[in-house]
Amino acid sequence: MKSRIQSLVLIVLLCLHPVLASAAPQIPAPPQLDAKGYLLIDFNTGQVLADINADERLEPASLTKIMTGYVVFRELAEGNIRLDDQVLVSEKAWRTGGSRMFIEVGTQVSVEDLLKGMIIQSGNDASVALAEHVAGSVEAFANLMNAHARRLGMTNSHFTNPNGLPDPDLYTTARDIARVTIAIIREFPQYYAWYSSRDFTYNDITQPNRNPLLRRDPSADGVKTGYTRAAGYCLVGSAKRDDQRLVSVLMGAPSPNARATSSLALLNYGFRFYESHRLYPAGQPVEHLRVWYGEQEVLSVGPATDVFATIPRGDYGQLSARIERTAELTAPIAVGARIGDLVVDNAGRELTRVPLVALEAVPEGGLVRKAKDHLLRMF
């Protein structure tokens, strides 16, 4: 009773699976891909399923626009700009080379149209116009990009422009690009929907989405291509099948077809050999624990966040969960107080650990309750 660490095994929910599976067959190695670097990650858990040179600094080309989009989405969320803001197109934006939305100098274009022109048409001109509207200049906007990158933990990235045109000080990694991509999907689903648009028309010019995955895989809904001679062919993909979403990042492929087939191979590998489950929803009780010296004797506890697990396909029956708490529970206890961790194991190996919190308050009990609990603890 007085042990400082108590573990309670929770198997009830996880054992609802009809049959306990035997050990799953060994997962084969990921496909061999012709690219400078790549990464495949599960959206819900952050578990990396395949990677090569994921932390090598590489030129991102137009993958830079994923970071540009994130900054603009944050500005929208904070109320600093609006989708219907009319942006005056500068000569600098109009003259920007490479892929274009075909905005014209001196005209006014809405933030929403500029975002679609950047996301769907990969418009370098749209990226510059957005940067100038948000921050006043490309240089000031790049400072915003780097500030958000640091906040997101993108420790191997540095941005100098919003469109990815070559610059010796512009670089990122497959892991960092995956991080900002996941942030967009999680924080801004209403804007992420634009990444699956098949085409966009502006100024009577219709351009298709450059992402080949949208035409090759019905489960794909993003994200962005990129190319410069130095960077090679790049592609960030995301697809959702049932309740599982994967994000792939491929950088430095030798051809457009190679980046498409390699990205699809990565996604198919992940979906074929791994499965992802939400085991416990946030805020739902998983156990009722004894509380001493409180107005009530038991406390409902649950995870502070959704508990997901990414496992080899067929391993569901080998999952188990346990509660680890750091001390016995004594009142008063506030709602949300951390009382330990919910730990999920796969075949005895720790898979994930999530804070376990009090789902209700337990006020301090009266003298009679305290005296009773004191006697119970003595004997």
Q: Is 240 annotated among the ligand-binding residues? A: no
241 three-class SS: strand
Task: Please state, in angstroms and rounded to a whole number, the distance separating the CA atoms of residues 67 and 110.
Answer: 20
Radius of gyration from C-alpha coordinates of the chain: 25
Nearest to 360 by CA among 295, 317, 301: 301
352 bridge partner residues: 344
Q: What amino acid positions are annotated as catalytic residues?
A: 62, 65, 122
344 bridge partner residues: 321, 352
**Distance set, CA 206 to CA 107, 116, 191 (Å):** 19, 12, 20
Crossing angle of helices 111-119 and 124-135, rounded to 10°: 140
Calculate the CA 185 to chain-centre distance: 6
Contact between residue 301 and residue 286 where contact means Cβ atoms under 8 Å apart: yes
Nearest to 266 by CA among 83, 45, 41, 80: 41
Beta strands in 242-313 (DSSP E): 244-253, 274-280, 287-292, 298-303, 307-312
Count Cα neighbours of 361 within 13 Å in the Cβ-side half-sphere: 5
Count Cα neighbours of 71 within 13 Å in the Cβ-side half-sphere: 29
Q: Which residues are annotated as a binding site?
A: 224
Query: Would you list which residues are annotated within the binding site for substrate?
Result: 224
